[in-house]
Chain A
Amino acid sequence: MAPVEVEGLTKHYGDVVANDALSFEVEAGEVFGYLGPNGAGKTTTIRTLMGFQSPTAGTARLLGADVRDEGAHIEARRRIGYLPESPAFDESATGRELLDLHAAVKGDERRDELLELFSPPLDRPIREYSTGNVQMLGLVQAFMHDPDLVVMDEPTSGLDPLKVQQFNEFLRGEQRAGTTVFMSSHQLSEVRRVCDRVGVIREAELVTTERVDALLRRSGKFVRLRAAEPLDAGDVAMDGVHDVQVRPGDGDDGVTEMTFTYTGDVNPLVERVAGYDLLDLDVEEAPLEEVFMRFYGGEAGA
Chain B
Amino acid sequence: MLEFARYDGRKRLRGSLVMAAGLAAFAALIVWVYPSFSAMDNIDQFVEAYPEPLIEAFGIRSLTTIGGFLATEIYSFGWVILLGLYFAYAAASIVAGDVEDERMDMLLSLPVSRVRLVGERFAALGVPLLVVNVVTPVVVYAGVQFVDASIDAADLVAVHALSVPYLLACAAIGLVFSVVLSRESTAQRAALGSVFGLFLLESALASTDLEWLGALTPMRYYDPTAVLVDGQYDLQGATVLLGATAVLLAGALLLFRRKDIQ
Contacts and interface: CB of A to CB of B under 8 A. Distances in A.
Question: For chain B, what secondary structure do more than half of its interface residues adopt (helix, strand, loop), or is it mixed?
Answer: helix
A88 B3 contact: no
A102 B102 contact: no
B102 A104 contact: no
B220 interface: no
In this complex, the interface size class of chain A, counting residues with CB under 8 Å from chain B, is 20 to 34
A38 interface: no
B109 A88 contact: no
A53 B108 contact: no
Given A52-B260, A53-B260, A106 B103 contact: no
A198 interface: no
A105 B112 contact: yes
Nearest to A82: B109
Interface string B90-114: 0000000000011111101111111
Nearest to A11: B260
B11 interface: yes
B105 A52 contact: yes
Interface residues of B, number: 22
Given A53-B262, A54-B260, A86 B102 contact: yes
Nearest to B101: A88
A50 B108 contact: yes
Nearest to A75: B111
A190 interface: no
A74 interface: yes
Contacts of A74: 111-113
A188 interface: no
Contact of B106 (A75, A77, A84, A97): A84
A74 B106 CA distance: 14
Interface string B234-262: 00000000000000000000000110111
Interface of B: 3-4, 7, 11, 101-106, 108-114, 257-258, 260-262
